[in-house]
Amino acid sequence: MVDAAPHRVAILVYDGVTLLDVAGPAEVFKEANRFGAGYRIVLLSPTGADVTSSLGVRIAVDGAVSSEPASDTLLVAGSDLYPRAPVPGELADAARTPAAVAGRVASICTGAFVLAAAGLLDGRRATTHWKVAHELAVRCPTCRVEPDAIYVRDGAVYTSAGVTAGIDLALALVEEDHGPDLAREVARALVVYMQRAGGQSQFSAPLQGPPPRSSALRRITDVVTANPGGNHSLGELAKHLNVSTRHLTRLFRDELSTTPARYVENIRFDMARALLDQGHTATQAATLAGFPSYESLRRVFARKLSISPAAYQRRFGTARRANAG
């Protein structure tokens, strides 16, 4: 039975907004209504004027932020614009004003930059898309950014990772309001996970760091990258430069902020992930990438991605393999 007083969900939109950041969560709340929830979804812009999404699709809004009653839930959608440029003052104000009276506030993907500009992430934990998590930490130095999280709750403020993670967050909000059974029905109807295993790292690109400044360390990293499966013990790597193991360890720490062993592991992990993407079994990937055993590869995957190599491969295998037969 639908509550007499609907739960008001306001989504803040603006020119350049990512359409999926708006449509994904809205569909979750709309679908929840089919199973007995009572959400009223409204789209608001800073001025009340319609906006144009990043795809060029025009979005009709229900009104201006200033002219609407308080929302139970305020969602701030993201955009590719504001990790690259400062958030305009009027947009930050458009988030700050309703947030002061909303029951809870949430951002989708890079909408976190709008919340940060509005001062709503100061001293809080938060997340955003893995590609721009570092930039968010720079913009909001008092915020503890968690780049691997799918979504983060800190009090009444929620933040989520890239685009489709807005669906994960909306499902979590529905579960908070109506319990797991109704949220599970919504997830089934939309054919999505109710709760994804692992964090954002499973979706991120392979590790790509700047090359070492010194030519000596570049020679070592080139050796490892060219043959990840080779013998790259600390002693063997030091022999390539005719330096002590202690000196080599210091070079890695000073220039790459890691150890030789962890650098080798990261390169092997990237290679194993690429091999899994290409269709090799987890055991084959472990061997070809230079891991001593499948178990050692599994432990690295668990530590870095919180899922097993097999689970990773099921998720990211090509459509060709999925439809083979």
Catalytic residues: 109
Do residues 159 and 115 lie in contact, with contact meaning Cβ atoms separated by under 8 Å? yes
Contact by Cβ (8 Å): 36, 182: yes
In whole angstroms, what is the distance from residue 71 CA to residue 224 CA? 55
Give CA–CA dist 116/184, Å, rounded.
32
The DSSP element (H or E) to which 44 belongs, if any, is: strand 39-45
Q: How far apart are CA 173 and CA 242, in angstroms?
A: 58
Q: What gap in Å lies between CA 272 and CA 281, rounded to an integer?
A: 10
Tokens 């092997």 belong to residue: 268
| CA distances (Å), origin 58, targets 29, 47, 51, 166 | 21, 15, 6, 21
Contact in structure between 101 and 72 (CB atoms under 8 Å): no
Beta partners for 44?
Answer: 12, 63
Output the CA–CA distances (angstroms, integers) from residue 179 to 5, 7, 39, 69, 174, in the order listed.
18, 15, 15, 26, 7
**Bridge partner list, 76:** 12, 107
Sequence-distant (6+) residues with CB within 8 A of 206 are 270, 273, 274
